[in-house]
Amino acid sequence: MLVYRLYKSSYIHEPLSAEGARRAGGRWNPKGFPILYTSATPELALLEVIAHLNPTFIPDFNLLVLEIPDVHKLVSLDELPENWQDESPGGSLQTYLNDWLEHPDFVTVSVPSAIVSRSRNYLLHTLHPDFQKSAKIIENEPFRIDFRVVKGQ
């Protein structure tokens, strides 16, 4: 299956790096875990970036298209805490996948998007022994973000 990731073009030489998530943490991981956040569609990848974008400065982005195995751990909506979509849901989601983060039995976990809960994001554990052979780069091209989608922020 294909998954999509928008990342700052300044990291063009390391498109599979999850260093940002390792240093800062994210919705689904605390600091210290290098998780690569990807989305089911390029449109969802764009929405995920826009949600965190400073509209006064839009850096250059690249769209990374990865082919990954269609085998993943699935997190369903009905098993998530009530506040999972909050902008800052606290540490509950950062530790929700703790077993997987510490002992990855799958390379990929499929989670609902907090922005469009019917859509899926795919978290790739870069420390899984099969990560390098599981994530195959299909495309890695510059991606222009149209200012019209962020001007109202």
Total-model pTM:
0.93
pLDDT cut 90: percent of the chain above it = 78
Q: What are the boundaries of each domain within the chain?
A: 2-94+108-144
What is the Cα–Cα distance from 46 to 145, expressed in whole angstroms?
8
Torsion, Cα 53 113 31 104, to 10 degrees, reads -150
Amino acid type, 95: T
Q: Is the pLDDT of residue 76 over 70?
A: yes
What is the Cα–Cα distance from 79 to 11, expressed in whole angstroms?
35
